[in-house]
Amino acid sequence: MFGTQGIGLVVSIILARLLLPAEFGLIAMLGIFLGLAATLINSGLTTSLIRTENLDEEDYSTVFFFNLGVSCFLYGLIVLLAPYIASFYNQPVLTPVVRVYSITFVINAFSAIQVTRLNKCMDFKTQLKVSIPSLVIGCTVGVTMAYMGYGVWSLVWSAVIQSFASAVQLWYFAKWKPLWVFNIEKFKFHFHYGIKLMFSGILDILFTNAYTIIIGKFFAPAQVGFYNRAESLQMFPVSAINSIIGKVTFPLFATIQNDDERLKMVYKKIMQMVLFLVTPTLVLMAVVAEPLFRLLLTEKWLPAVPYFQILCFNGILYPIHSYNLQILVVKGRSDLFLKLEIIKKILTVVIILISFQFGIYGLLYGSVIGSVLCFFINTHYSGKFLNYTAWQQTKDILPIIFVSIGVGGLVLVSDLVLKNYYFIDFFRLAFGSVLGIILYISAAYLFKLSSLFELITIAKRQ
């Protein structure tokens, strides 16, 4: 995952330097439609496959053909709706862009079960063999087209080619092919569990992309591009660390789902360890955001800096949201999962209606407030299952957050001093990063943060 994320980051930086913010904004506007399609194709059935203990080839084949059928239907629907999507945003170029980009629906459906089987078996080595070459191929196409002046189409074809390369390799390496069978009873079993997750996913996609929709509808495409680039860069450390551990946590939680005491212990350690890595990273990135953006993305992206700084604090609690909801899923309570999603979305609507009156910055600050409130909502039921309340979880994570903010404050002071003496961006970044790492590790040792010693123990084992 670090290899994949690292290559993706480097390529996105190159593309950001070659393309305009408005061109990134056009792709960002499609996020809600791509996300909804992916959720409908999956329908929560692949999650049911991972969670279910006794499976046979009929289970996998049934879900495979369902996913494939839905993906073809949705692709046809998107082709018909493309002009209306373009009209909504008042961007005619979106019509052909949507139609071509959406081919990835069908391509990804061909390989979804292969990925599910690899995740269930925790076979990440095979996924490494597939993901990095696919990413390199897709990104090479994207950078080449961007350099040749194809603009937004470089992003479109990069995604399509990457999906195609991944699907071909997964069929070769995963060594699985579907049987020509569709078992209605098995479909009903997985669908009954997955339907609630599907509706939860739809709600999540709608409201996750609500800010992009509003900005895209009422502001220029460049503003969507600034927001999207800020969000993508902010999510890099979160998704890099959370994706690595997240791929392991759900299958792991599923294997110990009936041992509440052990599940609580594992959950607590993982939550603290992820936050121990994510929180200082986001705080330090927010502190040095200006030289970071100017050095990596050039001056044209500097309007995204304040968006990025606000979103960094929004991302701190993201892993905890994910792990709390995983507890409900492995416990088989997809009904509670859906109930929580409905409550959170109602809250999000209220926050958006209030914060929209204050422009883009109002929306961003509102999202931070919403993230904090959602933390207490998510921990309510999972806390009951594990006897690990929201207050107990808060006490376990506050030391990490306070230490990170304190270190960030010291780095900010030093960066302001360097800025006054006109130091180059690279030196400001290097000095701030090294100083922040040294101060954070020292403070973690001084305050005896348990995650530091856990990581040291793991490193010694290797």
pLDDT of residue 392: 83
Phi-psi region of 352 (alpha: psi -120 to 50; beta: other; left: phi over 0): alpha
Distance between CA atoms of 391 and 359, rounded to whole angstroms?
33
CA distances in angstroms from 79 to 86, 100, 260, listed in the order given: 12, 9, 47
pLDDT tens per residue across span 305-351: 999 999 888 888 877 777 777 777 777 676 777 777 788 878 888 88
**Span 241-259, average pLDDT:** 68
pLDDT tens per residue across span 191-217: 777 776 777 777 777 777 777 778 777
Distance between CA atoms of 449 and 404, rounded to whole angstroms?
12
Share of the chain above pLDDT 90, in %: 9
| Cα first-last separation, the chain | 19
pLDDT of residue 435: 92
Q: Enumerate residues 6+ apart whose C-beta is below 8 A from 359.
A: none
| pTM given for the model | 0.70
pLDDT of residue 243: 67
Lowest mean pLDDT among 87-101, 170-184, 446-460: 446-460
What is the CA angle 274-370-280, rounded to 5?
30
Distance between CA atoms of 22 and 223, rounded to whole angstroms?
7
What secondary structure letter does DSSP report for 358? Answer: G
pLDDT of residue 114: 86
pLDDT of residue 296: 83
pLDDT of residue 254: 67
- The residue ranking higher by pLDDT, 297 or 202, is 297
What secondary structure letter does DSSP report for 410? Answer: H
pLDDT at residue 439 above 90?
Answer: yes
pLDDT at residue 271 above 80?
Answer: yes
pLDDT of residue 298: 81
Q: How confident is the model at residue 422 (pLDDT cuts 50, 70, 90)?
A: low
Q: Enumerate residues 6+ apart whose C-beta is below 8 A from 296.
A: 13, 16
Which residue, chain included where needed, has tokens 């946590």?
Answer: 249
Average pLDDT, the chain: 82
Tell me the residue length of the chain. 462
